[in-house]
Amino acid sequence: MDQVNTRKLLSSYFLYECGRSMYFVIITWYLFQWTQDAMYTGLFVSFGFLPGLFSNIIFGVLVDRYNRKKLAVIAGAVSVASLTLLGGAFFLEWISPWLLILTHMVLQTTGSLFRPSLQALVAEVFLPEDLPRIFSLSGSATISGSLAGAAMGGVFSSLMSAPVSITIVVMFYAAAFTAVAKLHYTSTIESRKTCREPFISELRSGFRYLNDHSFLYGLFMMMMLGQLTFHMTLGFLSVYTSDYLEKNAFVYGTLDVTFSVGGIAAGVLGAWWWKRMKNNLAVFSLAVMACGLLLAGITQHVVMAFLGICLIGIGTSFVRSLLQSVQQIATAKEFHGRMASFRMLCNQSAVVITGPLFGFTASSIGANYVFLFLLIPVSLGIIWSAYQAKHPLFVEITTSKTA
């Protein structure tokens, strides 16, 4: 593996996720404290992914047609600019819940370009046998950044004003942008596509590829459950802490850190878990998620709540990172961008549809019911994953392409 590029790649993941997690903790805490209405939290989580329903398919074709590093740099620059404007609005006291939601929509949209660009770049640069290890390391860097960002976000929410906190967030996003810009990368996509197909033709070919490889549908469904649980846990953790556990911003930040600690553990143990579970990888990963959701949903005991959130962090990270490796290995390189965007379209559609419903649930009967209701689709996912585990391609990849 290219050690220099690996360090820069991991740095970009760490810094980006640190800034994103810090931003999310700060904004969701302030949003609920200002409004005292969980519906705004549900709309914040849901509307953030709304533009992605239209942009993801376009972004997928762009990633498969153009220089992936340049696309990631553009996405990073727009993120920095958007947060800078938000910081200015805080300083001028021009802030409102809908401005926070609008800014979040922009950030989620740029993230929908940034992530598949970087993921496709990784798959283009590194050898297929290195991908499980690279994605596990990337997952560890991402979760480490999330841990650091959540911890700082919890402290900043308690001790600093919102304008100062947002300024620090901008600095982390700018550092991540710089790390991506310094990656050494020569695009092979642009050089081998001297005669491009029309945009619509490439879009259609992506759908045809997906239909010809129906195995990917099952992977998308399982990763959707991981992403849905991940985003709903993070989105409603502030409401859960304040309204259900009746604790302060410091406890909220600590719970978010615990969620990240679970993710780090999953990242460190990812290669071992892959080898140990083999084709039952998804079954047991979803089962860990289900145990965490049950604990968080049925108890107000703080220690048990921490344990539940930790298990959710472990399970969601196993599902999101390791099944993504399975998808990357199963997908031809020239379709990585489009398949990543189709995957995110599936993930984000689930969040957009259910976010307001979970917001209504949290505001009317309690934030803990968000976790209990998530148990229903996750339990169905466990049943599906047991069926998927028998698919010949899934068996081949998880038993022979080990890290």
What backbone phi and psi angles, to 5 degrees, belong to 36?
Answer: 55, 35
Query: Nearest 5 degrees, angle CA 275-CA 117-CA 348?
Result: 80
Tell if the pTM clears 0.85, that is, is over it: no
Residues whose CB falls within 8 Å of the CB of residue 363, separated by 6 or more in sequence, listed in order: 37, 38, 39, 42
Asked whether the beta carbons of 31 and 44 are under 8 A apart, the reply is yes
The encoded tokens of residue 55 equal: 């942009």
DSSP state of 334: G
325/331 Cα distance (integer angstroms): 10
Higher pLDDT, 52 or 362: 362
Structure tokens belonging to residue 117 = 């660009």
Q: Read off the pLDDT band of 2 (50, 70, 90).
A: low
Mean pLDDT of 293-313: 93
- Rg of the chain's alpha carbons, rounded to an integer? 20
d(CA 313, CA 334) in angstroms, rounded, equals 32
Q: pLDDT tens digit string along 59-86?
A: 877 887 788 888 989 999 999 999 999 9
Write the pLDDT tens digit of every residue in 118-153. 877 777 776 666 666 777 777 778 777 877 888 888
